[in-house]
Structure 1
Amino acid sequence: MRLKQSSRPAHALAAFLMVASVCASAADLSPEQQLLSAVAKMKSGDSEGARSSLQDLTQRLPNFRLAKQIYGELLAGLPGGTLIDTQGDPRLSDLTEEARLRALGDKAVPPTGYVPNSVLQLDSEHPFFILVDLPKARLYLMQNSKDREMTLVRNHYASIGRNGYGKQSAGDLRTPIGIYHITGWLPKVNLPDLYGEGAFPLNYPNLWDQFNSRSGYGIWLHGVPKDTYVRAPRSSEGCVTMSNEDLVALKPYIVTGETPVILSDSLEWVPPDQVKGEREKFLARLEDWRSKWAERDTEAYLAYYGQGFTTDGMNFAQFAAHKVRVNSSKKFIDVKLRHINLFRYPGAGEPMMLAEFTLDYRSDNFSSTSVKQQYWRQDKDGEWKIFREENR
């Protein structure tokens, strides 16, 4: 490779300088914050401060390739500096894209108090949940308090599938879009070095994926090999990957089988009052559905189901006939809902809500408890109707 004189930033550093905002300095910055802070110093003309910060960062994390690349480009831009000509290096485009996404990371932090529009309600049995903004390569750990206040705990860069997102089939190298649960923890002693400190498997394909005939398996949140700090933005076979440090930091917040993970293609942050209004309207509709069932008002109950509804091998007509027959034979029906979660389902192509809850059913001759998932869509008149119902 040849050396050339340079008096201006190039490649990855240029990508950072175009969008990075000034980041407040602190003694205990994360590696990404330190990188952002160093570039902000460069933008403000403090080349020596940027150089010192990047030197410290690359010494602490010699596998942080982006930091080393930007440090090298910064040094090349100083008087008398030289730049290694990396044109043609296939890794450069990955680093430039990583730089662009990380520079957006500071802007990706939502305003104080804002909440994700994809979560209308999460029961207190889920004290934490994870959001991944797939287009922005950003993972958010959120806390869910008992009074339904959602607050951001931490956020960081995370890479996705080689061919992006929207998984449909095995081997398509895409990350799924949807709502999942973490099913366990696989420690590094049981895994190849590729997965770093370990992995959190997800329940892909979930019921919605199966309904849409999506195939594949082994979608995990996992770390990176020991000689790597992070992977390129699009580099996995469909998993969400992150630095080992960030992966391990998630462990105290995750409950196996319970912690929701939302992989979103269109994450939006909105004022909490906006979510509150939508939540109250939808809860009222869900409650009316429940009460009509309990009152054995089968006609009004069935009015909540769309004509395209399916469940357990039955279409709407078959389901309606079944409910008329069963409900008419009961002397009483008692239905209770608890642990209610309400999500705006991502990647559905049209507005879709997922209502997930524990249902306690009791009648004069039968009782049961199940975890139910209802998928709701708006009909041509704008009314929310159930078009799919399953037990998880």
Structure 2
Amino acid sequence: MKKILKLYACCCALWAILAAQPLSSESPKSPQSSESLDEATFELVNLYQQKGIASVQEKLESYLLSVPYWLKVVGQRDVSYGYFQHTRYVFVSNKALPDLRLFKVTKQGFELLGDSSALVAKGKGHKKLEGDLTTPIGVYDLTARLSNLPPYYGPLAFATDYPNTYDRSLKRTGSGIWIHGLPLDGNREELNTKGCIAIDNEILKKYDGLVDYRDSIVIISEGELRTMSSTQAAQILAGLYAWKEMWQKGNLAGYLKFYDQDNFIRQDGMRYKAFAEYKSRVFAKNEDKQIKISAIDIVPFPNEEGREMYRVNFQQDYQASLNGKVSFSSSHRKDLYVWINGGEMKILSEK
């Protein structure tokens, strides 16, 4: 059944390419007459005729490893605040000002829905410890809409997932980092929060009517955000699929090449050497692996190290089989924290 589904999917992809050819206003030509095909389509059809549909699938998948392919996908789209297939709304805060802006993700890039001043904590740099009175720097998912709160927090709040995987890998602690309002009685003497971002209540209620927290994120920087270019987005997308390709084919050396040997650390504290040894044992099982990635988001990730760093978040559907029997399967959203080094994607942490 799986082979049939793969064959069907590949045929659909081939048909999509053929269907993309411009239609002639003339009457259909007979099969014996020559038709105008672009070179790429001709090569695919020729490959299919000589070697069958599996070879076409392999060729199509090879395009996903190509930076030029992804540059065409990104096109003229503005990816300053990220490349999104999943997220629909992006909050952006510069805590040095401080401010909070809300953008809607569009096909062209971003539409600004609101821009306001904000209150943040007085601490500088990254939040490191519980109670250090610092607003974190990084990229965070919104995890809940909170209501019926003490009046001090205004009409509602959006909770974030601080500390995220990268924070945990660096042993950062703390909790309860929210985007919330101002006291309902209007009496707030403090100019700083304990770590949250606070904005005007009417603006917060407006945002509540626009966004769904389940497909929204917040980017928090200190100073001007280092934005992402189309080239950087394409390099990461091509790198992501190449990483998946090495994993799926059981190429351990190729797979580990994507991990930063000097700086990689998982949230459980495992560093590169122990991780490589662990993966070598897993790869030695010689399982057949099917890995699908989809709904990809890539977001510039503010950091104190000055790296061109990004959070890559995507849906991962994984299945491993041994001797024809499924040995493990999973389906979840996965995080990779990466940076670009010499044009190549290097993984710093993952979940």
**TM-score using structure 1 length:** 0.62
C-alpha distance after superposition, 1:340-361 (max 9, x if no partner): 1112211242212221112111
1:275 aligns to 2:232 (yes or no): no
One-letter amino acid of the counterpart of residue 306, structure 1 = D
CA distance in 2, matches of 1:251, 1:322: 45
- The correspondence for 1:375, drawn from 337, 340, 343, is 337
C-alpha distance after superposition, 1:8-55 (max 9, x if no partner): xxxxxxxxxxxxxxxxxxxxxxxxxxxxxxxxxxxxxxxxxxxxxxxx
Per-residue deviation at 1:336? 1.3
Alignment of 1:58-77 (within 5 A): none
Alignment correspondent of 2:31? none
1:139 aligns to 2:100 (yes or no): yes
Q: Unpaired segments of 5 or more residues in structure 1?
A: 1-112
1:168 aligns to 2:128 (yes or no): yes
Per-residue deviation at 1:288? 0.9
Residues 159 and 231 (structure 1), Cα distance of their counterparts in 2 relative to 1, 3 Å cut: farther
DSSP 3-state at the match of 2:158 = strand
> Contact conserved, 2:88 with 2:215, CA < 8 A, in 1?
no
C-alpha distance after superposition, 1:64-98 (max 9, x if no partner): xxxxxxxxxxxxxxxxxxxxxxxxxxxxxxxxxxx
Per-residue deviation at 1:382? 6.3
CA distance in 1, matches of 2:174, 2:278: 34
Alignment correspondent of 2:43? none
CA distance in 1, matches of 2:245, 2:108: 24
CA distance in 1, matches of 2:305, 2:100: 22
Alignment correspondent of 1:262? 219
CA distance in 2, matches of 1:135, 1:115: 24
CA distance in 1, matches of 2:285, 2:124: 52
> Contact conserved, 2:138 with 2:303, CA < 8 A, in 1?
yes
Residues 215 and 316 (structure 1), Cα distance of their counterparts in 2 relative to 1, 3 Å cut: closer
One-letter amino acid of the counterpart of residue 241, structure 2 = E
- Whose RCO is larger (CA < 8 A, sep 6+)? 2
Alignment of 1:100-249 (within 5 A): 117=80, 119-123=81-85, 125-145=86-106, 147=107, 149-164=109-124, 166-187=126-147, 190-228=148-186, 234-249=191-206
Aligned residue-pair number: 268
Per-residue deviation at 1:283? 0.7
> Contact conserved, 1:159 with 1:231, CA < 8 A, in 2?
no
One-letter amino acid of the counterpart of residue 122, structure 1 = F
> Contact conserved, 1:114 with 1:269, CA < 8 A, in 2?
no
1:384 aligns to 2:345 (yes or no): yes
1:347 aligns to 2:307 (yes or no): no
CA distance in 1, matches of 2:240, 2:279: 18
Alignment correspondent of 1:46? none
CA distance in 2, matches of 1:165, 1:321: 35
Q: Unpaired segments of 5 or more residues in structure 2?
A: 1-75, 322-326
DSSP 3-state at the match of 1:310 = coil
Per-residue deviation at 1:337? 0.9
Per-residue deviation at 1:132? 0.9
Residues 255 and 141 (structure 1), Cα distance of their counterparts in 2 relative to 1, 3 Å cut: same
Q: Percent identity at matched positions?
A: 29
Say which one has the larger Rg: 1
C-alpha distance after superposition, 1:198-243 (max 9, x if no partner): 22222222222222222222211111123439877x4211211111
Residues 247 and 230 (structure 1), Cα distance of their counterparts in 2 relative to 1, 3 Å cut: farther
CA distance in 1, matches of 2:142, 2:350: 22
> Contact conserved, 1:231 with 1:241, CA < 8 A, in 2?
no
One-letter amino acid of the counterpart of residue 180, structure 1 = Y
Alignment correspondent of 1:316? 272
Alignment correspondent of 1:66? none
One-letter amino acid of the counterpart of residue 328, structure 2 = F
Residues 137 and 313 (structure 1), Cα distance of their counterparts in 2 relative to 1, 3 Å cut: closer
